[in-house]
Chains A and B, each alone.
Chain A
């Protein structure tokens, strides 16, 4: 080992190779890094934009693709109308553009499949992105670790990765999807129409064969606070809950 730690994940350029609209407000951008890197499900990258006069804006985005995916890395970016970076992606970025990013980053909100479970995943809006990487990772590994994903969205058409999540649920291989819509009626029999709460967490966990070993909660700060507290009230030890907060 060298005395000086190596620079972790230096900045590099990555080309946008594909753009796919996921919902009215969320679009996936697929990046091919000039120096490909291995990552774990749940990690993120930092992206930075540079103006001609040197001004830079940087933001973090979770990786949506599974570590097993060959080639491009998927970031799913929600457009905040008055934001600085997300509208750039939605309105300006195009296939062929080179963007600077560094990654993988974050060593806590990660789930390599061999860590085991069962798992409770709770995502609000774009907070589902790192959980999607975990779900895809699980599927790619043909894992049998029991997982329940509770995904809160405002309306049915804002359920990011909806078809893919329902397809994973339909495999009946131990991955369970629970959707809860906050502004529209439920479409699937077992889904909810309210904000996450203790009862919902308790019922979601009851779908697992045994109590969860780990819980991952991701979304806005307000969402994460409520969901993490609901998990604690439903009996999950605080030390087993990992959170990723997208800030405000």
Chain B
């Protein structure tokens, strides 16, 4: 277990193929960091309230709110970043726009900038996160307000574009403060203070998407902190047994019947055949999972495996995932 300042990483960006567990893992990661005594900001940017559901708290707002306090003194603060609010805050801060902001809103300029102008929206969203990472306490001894920030980011299909604010903006804004802001954001994202974590299942498609994302992030000079293999199932059969089951060795059939009889279960052909078929499927899934795991381990990136929770995340087993993450090096 490490203290608040052991890792240089301040911003954890959690992405992955849709539905692989990004939101769940982002929440678990924030809990793991808070358990080390850190003050953590946990943010979502798509307004889906996924984090609130996973943590079972009231919907997150556009204002930061403490969600969880840890006995260690750590704490998780939640935020749902909203492009419109971010734009108005930004205009207020830099231009003291006041009432003009509402005129902008009335003529549809705010809508235009936040939902339509490509790229601008992403700069606003990630700009808000950037601000939180850099925010320091008031007073003489300035220290960061948040020890780390965990971002439940868009899926791998969009992550390159999302994080590549610079080029997105350079298409539309060649000079001006938005451009300058984009440059500062890019500096943070490319520095050792940022780590992108790729969540995947040990299945072919998500693993392929993970590999593609690693390539893409590499070309953008973004650092992949880890690959998180989520929903990993424990193989239940020993290797030599697995081989015998997969080969449909007749001895498996015999020993199963004998065993069932020994514990007083009335066997029939349907029961035995059913159990054997389930065994074959299980072995096949386990083999596929091991294959995909091996592909990831051949990469030069730490791979963390998180177990499949058979009762689902709602059952309060999120802490279990947080515990596993807390033990990982380099987080």
A and B assemble together:
no
Tell me the B residues contacting A by CB distance below 8 Å: none
